[in-house]
Amino acid sequence: MLKFLLMLLVVSLWAGAASAQIASTGSGQGYPNRPIRIVVPYPPGGGTDVIARTLAQKMTETMGQQVLVDNRPGANGIIGSDAVAKAAPDGYTVLITLATHVINPALYAKLPYGPDDHVPVTVLAEYPFVITVHPSLPVKNVKEFVAFAKARPGQLTFASSGNGSGPHLGMELFKSMAGIDVVHVPYKGAGQAMTDLLSGQVPIFLNNFLAGAQMIKAGRLRALAVTSGKRSAAAPDIPTVAEAGVPGYAVTGWYGMMLPAATPVPVLRALHEGTVKALRSKEVSGRLSNEAAEIIANTPQEFAVFLKSESEKWTGVIRKAKVRLAE
């Protein structure tokens, strides 16, 4: 709680008179005056990378300096996050991350950086997952799936993109709330999981909505429900999990921007303004819409509160599901 309050204290300077005074005299004066590097802690080609490159292209315009993308994949996002935590706090090294940022502290006994080594800038966007099943599974909606699984405890399997990933923990939360026992089969990435789902080797996968959309339209997969709190504009005919039979369930993926701790408030403020302007441009908002993502562009204070909520939720899921902590 103390660490969270300290984070809120830092980002609360955003709205205070003190930030205006610092902006005119502090170390953020003249920012930016050289290229900005966005670190993506995942491989090229994935959703995070696509969003980062789309955003970087527009931010080059809104920031008045070239914005580059630097992929630093590995260790569930830890390598890239550590690189940003240890970078100079001058606003020129930026992190775009996912929910793994709050999941990793509950999964790993040790991390090379601490909970106070990053400061939030904004949630860029949120996106839904979708519970998909192979057509051979004789269920057409969430209620039928829950009843089918309850009649076969421990007999069904579900895929995920890795132990402790968003799809894994999202399904663990679903299992807990629906009262079913389905066995987890982790894969080394969503691509391998999707291959086995399409072949019927594993019948269930809670996946990024965009990744499964074409297969759903082609009839090769069946969508039971989206995981968000409201229906996706990209597929309004697919119900949410909550309205389809598990009230209160809501899980979304998200992309967030962070900076090294101790970054001057004026720099944080300038980066936030340039990022939000880029997000709301037609080029970026249109691409995000195509990716079934919804722009958030909230304040650093709101992002800090959101991080606390996400941390509490996923830590609870990890403990209840007894997900093994990595050393």
pLDDT of 155 > 60? The answer is yes
Among the ranges given (116-125, 171-180, 282-291), the one the predictor scored with the smallest mean pLDDT: 282-291
First to last CA, the chain: 25
The pTM of this model reads: 0.82
CATH 3.40.190.10 fits 2-126+252-321, yes or no: no
Average pLDDT over residues 51-71: 97
Neighbours of 42 (CB within 10 A): 22
Pairing verdict, β 93-97 and 36-40:
parallel
Phi-psi region of 54 (alpha: psi -120 to 50; beta: other; left: phi over 0): alpha
Residue indicated by tokens 């890239």: 80
Identity of residue 98: L
* pLDDT band with cut points at 50, 70 and 90 for residue 211: confident
Kindly state the percentage of the chain with pLDDT values over 90. 72
Domains 2-126+252-321 and 128-244 in one fold: yes
Closest CA to 149 of 128, 133, 162: 133
Question: Is the domain defined by 128-244 classed in CATH 3.40.50.80?
Answer: no
Under the banding of pLDDT at 50, 70 and 90, the label for residue 165 is confident
Residue ranges of the domains in the chain? 2-126+252-321, 128-244
- Buried/exposed 198-226: b ≥16 CB within 10 Å, e otherwise: beeebbbbbbbbbbbbebbeeeebbbbbb
- Strand segments, DSSP code E, in 3-139 are 36-40, 67-71, 93-97, 118-133
292, pLDDT greater than 90:
no
pLDDT at residue 325, rounded to an integer: 59
Question: Does the pLDDT of residue 27 top 60, yes or no?
Answer: no
Give the range with max mean pLDDT: 9-13, 42-46, 208-212, 254-258: 254-258
Element (H, E) at 70: strand 67-71
Measured distance CA(144)–CA(244) in Å, rounded: 10
Question: Of 58, 125, 119, which is closest to residue 93 (Cα–Cα)?
Answer: 119
Compute the residue count for the chain: 327
